[in-house]
Amino acid sequence: MGLWETLTGRRAPRRPRLDSLFAIPTAAITLETAAGLRPTGSGSVCFRAAAGAAFAATQADIVDLLRQDPEAPDAEQVTDAFGFTWLTVQRDPSDMGGLCTDLHTVNVLLEEQGFGPSLLCSLVPFSDGAGRTVALVYLYKQGTFYPFAQAGADRRDNLLEMSVRDHLRGELPMEEDLQRWLAVWGAPGL
């Protein structure tokens, strides 16, 4: 703890480790072999949209940047029932590296434009043949992941979440504080 932190009683905010997103393709292999969960090919970045022309222009620029590349997937913007904005991208499920690059790009572009404090999480869903879906949720401000498995309108599959956490503990920086495992009900891709 530094002098300023001692005087103010506050710690400096932890810097996000966006490069952790590039570990997801390896984690996807583990999930498929250990739990039969396969990538769905979608991913999304959730942020709290700010009012103003600058933020709207940045959102439009990000979508345009993704659409300019003929290899890049379509980007879709969705606002959920809670007022959060999700920028969703689609890729072939076998192209996890490309999907993670797209998610990283969206996060970095928002951060570079000064909207880092508005970033909440990134989400990459997986599913199995039995209809179960689980998402790896990257908490932007913590730099950690946690699994979220929605099992109904307002129910979670805690057993599946714990199983995914245990399978990936050695591959991804997993969030150990269960109070931060927030429900992302109705997130795109779930």
Question: What's the pLDDT tens digit per position in 127-159?
Answer: 998 989 999 999 999 999 999 999 988 899 999
Among left, alpha and beta (phi > 0; psi -120 to 50; other), residue 185 is beta
- Contacts of 51 by beta carbon, 8 Å cutoff, 6+ apart: none
Concatenating the DSSP letter of every residue in 156-167 gives B-HHHHHHHHHH
Please state which of the ranges 30-34, 63-67, 161-165 shows the lowest mean pLDDT.
63-67
The dihedrals phi and psi of 18, each to the nearest 5 degrees, come to -60, -25
For residue 72 the two structure tokens come to: 């890049």
3-state DSSP assignment of residue 171: coil
**Helix ranges (DSSP H) in the chain:** 3-8, 24-35, 53-68, 96-110, 158-168
Residue 179: its pLDDT value, please?
94
Q: Which amino acid is at 172?
A: L
Q: Is the pLDDT of residue 7 over 70?
A: no
**Residue 38: per-residue pLDDT:** 97
Q: Give tens-digit pLDDT for 90-116.
A: 899 999 999 999 899 888 877 877 778
Of 137, 184, 123, the C-alpha closest to 156 is 184
- Taking the CA atoms of 175, 176, 182 and 185 in sequence, report the sign of the dihedral they define: positive
The residues near 175 (Cβ < 8 Å, ≥ 6 apart) are: 139, 142, 144, 145, 146, 181
Contact between residue 37 and residue 129 where contact means Cβ atoms under 8 Å apart = no
8, pLDDT greater than 80: no
